[in-house]
Amino acid sequence: GDSVTQMEGPVTLSEEACLTINCTYTATGYPSLFWYVQYPGEGLQLLLKATKADDKGSNKGFEATYRKETTSFHLEKGSVQVSDSAVYFCALSDRWGSQGNLIFGKGTKLSVKP
Amino acid sequence: DVKVTQSSRYLVKRTGEKVFLECVQDMDHENMFWYRQDPGLGLRLIYFSYDVKMKEKGDIPEGYSVSREKKERFSLILESASTNQTSMYLCASSYIGQPQHFGDGTRLSIL
């Protein structure tokens, strides 16, 4: 079945460091890909998405490019801030599925130190 | 902005009790979902619903049931709570084929 694998955390960075969180997927068909973020004590928020190959999603300085040839959707940010400390989830959805069910990775906790 | 509201942020119940978790969304979304979130396991889908009175099992439906009598409300029911159901429960909703919007979660402890 479809699955998502993302790098295990926790990841600890200093402020202004570069961030990459790896995400690879296995899917039949043509999935849409998402990054969700969960700040402490809150639910998940959609961070960015890409619906087809070579699409780049971007939001709040974060970017991820849908790479069909490597089945990857790595999350990147050039300069992280303390406020980026959160848990990040990569997810996929079968774009042809009528229910839009999501399959999540296990999450990567990011801590950014001042 | 989409609002998905879960009735409780924290809940403590006893083994064997029947537990109701409520979720309401204000965007007329067709789809609604219940997940549980556990450390090291990520989010796992319990049940989802794509219309009023319709429900589908997710990956881990055992020990749970759901109810969707109105479009905006989706209830998760623990028929007889057990300690292994202690977890964070997240509700989400979406239009068909669109990203899901999540509530803030209910942290449920079963003693």
**In this predicted structure, what is the pLDDT of residue B97?**
74
| Residue B24 forms contact with A (CB below 8 Å) | no
Q: Are A74 and A62 in contact (CB under 8 A)?
A: no
What DSSP string describes B10-63? EEEE-TT--EEEEEEESS--SEEEEEEEETTTEEEEEEEESSTT--EE-S--TT
Q: Burial-class residue B111 by CB neighbours within 10 Å (0-12, 13-18, 19+).
A: exposed
Rounded alpha-carbon distances, angstroms, from residue A23 to A10, A35, A67, A92, B91: 15, 10, 11, 10, 24
**In this predicted structure, what is the pLDDT of residue A100?**
64
How far does A70 lie from chain B, in Å, by closest CA? 23
The string of pLDDT tens digits covering residues A44-90 is 999 999 988 999 999 999 999 999 999 999 999 999 999 999 999 99
Nearest residue of A to residue B32, measured between CA atoms: A99
| Residues of B in Cβ contact (< 8 Å) with A34 | 99
Amino acid identity, position B23: C
Residue A1: which residues within 8 A CB-CB, separation 6 or more?
A: none
| Residue A29 forms contact with B (CB below 8 Å) | no
The string of pLDDT tens digits covering residues B15-45 is 999 999 999 999 999 999 999 999 888 899 9
How far does B95 lie from chain A, in Å, by closest CA? 8
- To the nearest whole percent, how much of chain A has pLDDT over 70? 94
Binary contact (B99, A34; C-beta < 8 A): yes
